[in-house]
Structure 1
Amino acid sequence: MSGDDRVIELCWSPEVAQVRRWRLRLPEAGGWTIAQAWAALPEAERPAGVQPGVSPVGVWGRQHGWETVLRAGDRVEFYGPLRVDPKVARRERYFTQQQSGRVRTRSRSVVMPDSDEA
Structure 2
Amino acid sequence: MRYAMIMAGGSGTRLWPMSRAGEPKQLIRFIRRPGSDQLVSLLEVAAQRLEGVVPVERRYICTGEGHREVIRDRLPDFTDDRILGEPLPRDTVNAVGFAAAVFGKLDPEAVFAVLTADHLI
Point out which structure has higher relative CO (alpha carbons under 8 A, 6+ apart): 2
TM-score over 0.5 for the alignment? no
Question: Higher strand share goes to which structure?
Answer: 2
Question: Higher helix share goes to which structure?
Answer: 2
Q: Which structure: larger Rg? A: 1
TM-score bin, normalised by smaller chain: under 0.3
